[in-house]
Structure 1
Amino acid sequence: MSTATPPARSAATPRSTALAAAALTGALLLTGCGATASSGRGGDAGATAADLHAQLPERIRSSGVLRIGSDLTYAPIGFKGEGDKPDGLDVDLANALGAVLGVQVQFSDVPFDRLRLGLQADEYDLVMSGMTDNPQRRDGTDDEARKVNDGLDFVDYFVTGTSIVVAKGNPQRVAGLNDLCGRTAAVQRETVQATLLERQAEACQKGGRKLTVTETETDDQALALVAQGRAAVDLNDAPVAAHAVQHGRAGGQFQVVGEQLQVAPYGIAFEKEDTVLRDTVAKALDRLIRNGQYDEVLAKWGLTGGAVQSAVVNGSF
């Protein structure tokens, strides 16, 4: 469970100009690829709520529950708020999707590095946890294109990038990735940021200066290492970095340095064979985008800069 103090439900996290600009660029790219809910795999985006419920897999219609795996330690995307209840952008969007689909939403709090395994073990129906849609996760491959798992499908719903977070005052004078050579970086394991740091470590090694990467189970643990001076930086998603700067987390105060990196969409993750659920959720998300509920949820969290224009299946590249 997160050690961070969650924000008040009425407080939205302001987005930075960099986040808005980067997200806009990503959103424009995203609309040009993949399959939307209104064309191709998605089918009829104009379906009524009753139609959408009828299109759900029988196991979900009969139970009346959509089970969602999420790492609830990642404010403001997903975290535990008042009364230890799930809260955040993903939680609000999931509840809105459940209402459109005519089912209850049930969250399982799962460490991020176990989410894919739990999904493929049928512990939940989908994953909604600020998970970046990228070719490696879709294909189940590593950086050398070796097959390591069965891969996932995604319905993309938000665009963001990676920020470099340092202790307030930037005591180790980090301005970008190249400044990490000879230093220690902390990062949550199994994230796109962990992969980015692995690549940077290889570049540093070639230059003769070692980058030490410390992987943690949660982002709060990585931030704590930065606050304690045991790591120079933590890399995390831009909305999460902005939240850490504004509210403080993991016992420290922070700031963001450098430019936002590797802009890409968050995707709701599904097992490859679960195409019926994937496409029905895509249609439901398109419905929320069209009726304005999607924009209302993003505005609540100060994250409208990351809005997408339509639900896209496997839209990243």
Structure 2
Amino acid sequence: MARSTGRVRTAVTAAVTGTLLLSACSAVGGSKEKLHDQLPDAIRKAGVIKVGGSFTAAPVIFRNPDGKADGLDPDLAAALEKVLGVRLDFQDVGPFANVLPGLMDKKYDIAMSGITDTREREQGVDKDGKQVNDGVDFVDYFMAGIGTVVRKGNPAKVSQIDDLCGHGVAVKKGTTHDDLATRQVKACEHVGKTMKLIEADTDNAALDAVRAGQADAYITDYPKALYNAQTVDGGRTFDIAGQQLQPRPFGIALRKSDRQLRDVLTRAVNTLVTDGTYDQILSKRQLTVGAIQNSVVNGSS
């Protein structure tokens, strides 16, 4: 088991991360040479791992002024390149809803796009429990909860999920927040308060809906919510409403048939945790609150 780094976390995050630790004892790091040799033959020969992502989720993944992939996920990928001895090349797949379907269609080898590891995605079922694909495996590397972006001053007085009833709510299509909001629509109907759901393709489109008054809140991952509240218009337009809710792991997604690559990536991430590179990456992005102590496979199960 990788050593503890003594990070400070919230009680909720620590509790969830503790579950990850229990299942992580077999996930150990290794030298660059050993990890490279453990990669699937096709990847070693190609010298590259193709990565699919939606460049719409700052600070996790976005396009910088030079047009290149930037953020936590590209930083982590760059560090993985060094320990694996192969390139990780990002492909922008457009809206987030395209990320996992593209992986299942074998358009790339892995997906890194701030993807929340959920049991539904692992099992390949939709929000209604219907089987839609074979499911994916996740190599977990970060913890993030739900954040709610509102207009400055929070005029709608939103602080928790139930407060969304009677208001317009923006989400990104295909996300866990989309699923959450869809369920909340039904909950609001039961109390006689209609919730208007606005599904957007990008963070910017969702934020525009809040800015224009079409929505009173935008539900997204907490790091993205915090980043947008602090940076958009110099921090003058948006606020964060309430506390981070329901922390869950982010994971690198792979097809279930790619177990060899999955296990090597798990060892590689743990190598970065052990040698301190992981902490440096999170500190650079001011995301240390989401640090995990060990990478595990399918930590949401």
Equivalents in 1 of 2:96, 2:128: separation in Å? 22
Kindly provide the amino acid, as one letter, of the partner of residue 216 in structure 1: A
1:182 paired residue number: 166
8 Å contact kept, 1:131–1:268: yes
Counterpart secondary structure, 2:243: strand
Counterpart residue number, 2:272: 288
1:201–1:210: 8 Å Cα contact kept in structure 2? yes
Count of residues paired in the alignment = 293
User: In the alignment, which residue of structure 1 is the partner of 2:182?
Assistant: 198
Partner residue in 1 for 2:19: 29
Give deviations 1:240-292, integer Å, cap 9, x for gaps.
11101110169972111123222100010000100000000001111101000
Equivalence for 1:241: 225
Give 1:5's aligned residue.
none
Q: What's 1:218 paired with? A: 202
Provide the aligned C-alpha RMSD in A. Answer: 1.8
Q: Give the counterpart of 1:92 among 66, 75, 84.
A: 75
Contact 1:224 1:250 (8 Å CA) reproduced: no
**Is the partner of 1:313 in helix, strand or coil?**
coil
Q: Which amino acid aligns with 1:87?
A: D
Deviation track 1:18-54 (CA, whole Å, cap 9, x = no partner) reads x855433332232234xx3x51xx5xx2432111111
CA contact (8 A) 1:66 1:105 kept: yes
CA shift in 2, pair 1:208/1:46, >3 Å: closer
What residue number does 2:121 align with? 137
The 2-side partners of 1:251 and 1:225 are apart by 17
Deviation at 1:207, TM superposition (A): 1.2
**Amino acid in structure 1 at the alignment position of 2:21:** T
One-letter amino acid of the counterpart of residue 268, structure 1: I
Cα distance in 1 for residues equivalent to 2:121 and 2:298:
10
Which AA in structure 2 matches 1:81? N
Alignment of 1:224-303 (within 5 A): 224-248=208-232, 253-303=237-287
**Would you say 1:119 and 2:103 are equivalent positions?**
yes
- Give the drift of 1:313: 0.5
* CA positional deviation for 1:220: 1.5
Are 1:21 and 1:305, in contact at CA under 8 Å, matched by a contact in 2?
A: no
Alpha-carbon spacing, 1:250–1:124, altered in 2? closer, same or farther (3 Å): farther
Q: Is the 8 A contact 2:55 2:69 kept in 1?
A: yes
Letter in 2 for 1:273: S
Shift of 1:299: 0.6
Task: Provide the TM-score with structure 1 as the length reference.
Answer: 0.88
Contact 2:20 2:294 in 1 (8 A): no
**What is the rounded CA distance, in whole Å, between the counterparts of 1:46 and 1:219 in structure 2?**
35
2:295 maps to 1:305: no
| More displaced 10-residue stretch of structure 1: 290-299 or 110-119 | 110-119
Q: Percent identity?
A: 42
Q: 1:250 to 1:126 in 2, by over 3 A?
A: farther
